[in-house]
Chain A
Amino acid sequence: DAKTTQPPSMDCAEGRAANLPCNHSTISGNEYVYWYRQIHSQGPQYIIHGLKNNETNEMASLIITEDRKSSTLILPHATLRDTAVYYCIVRSPMNTGFQKLVFGTGTRLLVSP
């Protein structure tokens, strides 16, 4: 699986958009980008994933650059409850063989009042 690079920490004001970047310059053509987050003292929680098109769900939006070498997770109106560690993961689809789910160290997002 391709490696990812994320900033160790970011700050965001409550109510503003939080834009979390992820670099994955060695991503392969069939690898997906996944995002998870981990709120303190809880297990990680799935947020969103995508291949090349931008994706949106009730939690967030995922913007993947055209060359797929980087992506941004957008929380449109951050709340204090969004304070967490956010993990960007690149992974091949299942039809290429079983894929481990491996986490890096993520970005610690602090949302302040």
Chain B
Amino acid sequence: DVKVTQSSRYLVKRTGEKVFLECVQDMDHENMFWYRQDPGLGLRLIYFSYDVKMKEKGDIPEGYSVSREKKERFSLILESASTNQTSMYLCAIENALNTEAFFGQGTRLTVV
């Protein structure tokens, strides 16, 4: 069974805090993605990575950064959390052939 594990299911943080969202996979897949999902806006791509230490901006990278030091782990960082970053965050993995993507269960982040 494919495992994409996100570190927390629910998270509450204060405005201005530095927040780390972790995603770990056990499939040895090359591609990893971070999305956020908000009502009425669908899934929006924040960042993605196709290899260790490689990262590319998605459609809404502002206010976020990422880190991929090991193939199995892709971290999303909110340098200074703001209330407009309250959202559901989803991590996904995919092999290099783009056959199918697997998603984690999501982290619902609330910034107060």
Residues of A within 8 A of B48 (CB): 100-101
Q: CA–CA, A104 to B43, complex, Å? A: 7
Q: 0/1 per residue, B23-56, Cβ < 8 Å to A?
A: 0000000010101000011110100101000001
A101 contacts B92, CB within 8 Å? yes
Q: CA–CA, A98 to B58, complex, Å? A: 12
Residues of A within 8 A of B58 (CB): 100
Q: Which residue of A has the minimal Cβ distance to B57?
A: A100
The verdict on A68 contacting chain B, using a C-beta distance below 8 Å, is: no
Q: Which residue of A has the minimal Cβ distance to B51?
A: A98
Instruction: Please tell me the size bucket of the interface on B.
Output: 20 to 34
Q: Which of A64-113 contact B (CB under 8 A)?
A: 87, 91, 93-94, 98-106
Binding site secondary structure of chain A: loop
Residues of A within 8 A of B101 (CB): 36, 44, 46, 101
Smallest CB separation, B38 vs chain A (Å): 11
Select the stretch in B12-20, B61-69, B103-111 that faces chain A.
B103-111
Q: CA–CA, A94 to B33, complex, Å? A: 16
A101 contacts B90, CB within 8 Å? no
Smallest CB separation, A7 vs chain B (Å): 14
Q: CA–CA, A100 to B33, complex, Å? A: 9
A45 contacts B103, CB within 8 Å? yes
Q: 0/1 per residue, B70-112, Cβ < 8 Å to A?
A: 0000000000000000000010101011111111111000000
Q: CA–CA, A23 to B99, complex, Å? A: 21
Q: What 3 A-B pairs have minimum CB-CB distances, sorted nearest first?
A: A43-B103, A46-B100, A103-B43
B residues whose Cβ falls under 8 Å from a Cβ of A = 4, 31, 33, 35, 40-43, 45, 48, 50, 56, 58-59, 90, 92, 94, 96-106
